[in-house]
Amino acid sequence: MKDFEPSKYDFSIELPNDTDRLFNDCNIDYRHNAILRSGKKWFMVYSEAYRLAAEKLFEQLDGSAYISNHLVYPIVFLSRQYIELSLKELINGLNYVRIEKYTFPCDHKLKSLWDKYVSLSSNINKYQKPEETVLKNMERLISEFEEIDTFSMNFRFPTDKSEERKPSLKRTNIDLENFRITMSKISNFLTWQSNAIYDEIDKAEEYYYSLWEKLEIESDKKDMN
C-alpha cells in the first residue's frame, strides 16, 4: 500500500465549516422541506416512512452484486422496523377502541407484539377480521423474521454484544426478490388491518363523544333542579 501523500489530496472537495448546521427549519425552495410529526397518534407516519424507504432501495437493485451486497442491510433493517412500528400502531389503536387510551408495549420483539395484536383483535369488526389461516401464515413469517433478527440489531451491526463479538448473522445469503415479494404481502395485511382499526377508532370517538355529550346534558339538568 502506498504511503499517504498530503500533496496529492484533493482539497477541492467541500468539508464542514464553522457555519454549517445539520438542522435548519426551512429552505427557500419548498421542495427541500419536510414536516415532522411525533406522538402516540403518528405511528402510521413512521411505519410508512420505513416501508417507503425500503421500497425506494429495492428500486435501486439493478443486478449489480455490489449494490445488492450493500443495500441488503438497510433494506432488511427498514423492513423490520416497518413491521415493528406497524404492530405497535395496531395495538395502539385497538387499545384506544377498548379503553379510550392510546398505549402500546415498549417491547421490540416482533412475536410478542404480534401476540398482543392478536389478543386485542376481537375488537375489530368481524367483516374486517382476518381468517385463522391468514393469521397463522402471518405469525409464521413474523416468527421467522424474529429468529433471524430478534432485537433489530443484526442488520445494522456486524457483531453481537458478547465479549467474543461473534458475527451477528448466521446465514450468508438472501434472495432479495423473494424478500421483496413476501414483504409486500405482509404490508398488504398490515395496511388492511390499519384501515380496519382506524374505522373502529372513528366509531369509538363518535361513541365517546355522544357519551360525554349525554353526561353533560344530564349534569346541566341536575344543575337546573
Query: pLDDT digits over 75-129, tens only?
Result: 999 999 999 999 999 999 999 888 888 899 998 999 999 999 999 988 787 778 8
So what's the pLDDT on residue 48? 95
Identify whether the C-beta of residue 121 lies closer than 8 Å to the C-beta of residue 197: no
**pTM metric for this prediction:** 0.84
pLDDT band at 2 (very low <50, low <70, confident <90, very high): low
Share of the chain above pLDDT 70, in %: 87
So what's the pLDDT on residue 100? 85
Is residue 212 over pLDDT 70?
no
So what's the pLDDT on residue 188? 97
- Comparing 225 with 53, the larger pLDDT belongs to 53
Question: At CA 30, angle to CA 25 and CA 33, rounded to 5?
Answer: 40
Which of 3-7, 42-46, 133-137 has the least mean pLDDT?
3-7
**pLDDT tens string 180-206:** 999 999 999 999 999 999 888 887 777
Rounded-to-integer distance, Cα 153 and Cα 146, Å = 11
Question: At CA 46, angle to CA 114 and CA 198, rounded to 5?
Answer: 65
How far from 210 is each of 101, 198, 216, 221, CA to CA, in Å? 17, 18, 10, 17
